[in-house]
Amino acid sequence: MTTSKAKKVSLRIGAVDYSIQCVTRLEDEASNRLFGRQHLGHSTIKLDSEQSCQSAWNTLWHESIHAICDAAGIRKHPEESTIRAITEGICGALRNNPILLAQPLTNQQWEELKKSKGA
């Protein structure tokens, strides 16, 4: 018997720790192919293993936005096109603006930003 040494990956959104699981051929109940799926009741976010790393990152954000809606008590999530638009905005902003990755924004960065404001 082989034991897996794979590190479990999770994502905390609100009060829920979501287990991130990579699966082969992720589908919905109607057998439609999915890149990802978030399930609050199981505290899981599943990602299809047959997508690129960049796609998986984008998908993880997409599913995280669904989880954020759940955490906020939003029963009817926004349309998928709205979730996709928010996802693209966040992913693009993070990739193109490293300052948004600061965890958190440091006092020094904040002071530099305040000094750089327009006259």
Site for Zn ion in 55-84 (CB under 5 A): 80, 83
Query: Which 8-27 positions form the footprint of Zn ion (CB under 5 A)?
Result: none
Burial of 20 (0-12, 13-18, 19+ CB in 10 A): middle
Nearer to Zn ion, 71 or 83 (CB): 83
| 3 state SS of 38 | strand
Which residue, 9 or 85, has its beta carbon nearer to Zn ion? 85
Among 88, 87, 65, smallest CA distance to 77 is for: 65
Nearer to Zn ion (CB atom), residue 17 or residue 80: 80
Give residues in contact with Zn ion (CB under 5 A). 80, 83
